[in-house]
């Protein structure tokens, strides 16, 4: 397992997973730390496919 990461994210909820995806697209190495299983589902943690594809220039 790699020991050095650019970014460590604690939790794998919707926001954390989205942040990890954006960081990876920017070329960062990411460690996502979750005590439960991933992916997990929680009521209210959803998005439409259109929202995921919209980029405001931050991940290019």
pTM above 0.85, yes or no: no
pLDDT digits (tens, 9 = 90+) for 1-60: 778 999 999 988 888 888 999 999 999 999 988 887 655 565 555 555 555 554 545 444
Does residue 1 lie in a domain region?
A: no
Contacts of 2 by beta carbon, 8 Å cutoff, 6+ apart: 29
H or E, element range at 21 = helix 14-25
What's the structural domain count of the chain? 1
Cβ atoms of 26 and 55 within 8 Å: the answer is no
Domain, as residue range, for 27: 7-53
Does residue 2 lie in a domain region?
A: no
pLDDT at 7: 95
Does residue 41 lie in a domain region?
A: yes
Beta strands per DSSP E along 11-55: 30-33
């Amino acid at each position: 397992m790699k020991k050095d990461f650019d970014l460590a994210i604690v939790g794998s909820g919707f926001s954390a997973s989205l942040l990890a995806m954006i960081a990876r697209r920017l070329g960062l190495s990411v460690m996502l730390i979750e005590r439960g299983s991933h992916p997990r589902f929680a009521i209210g943690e959803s998005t439409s496919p259109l929202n995921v594809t919209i980029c405001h220039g931050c991940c290019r």
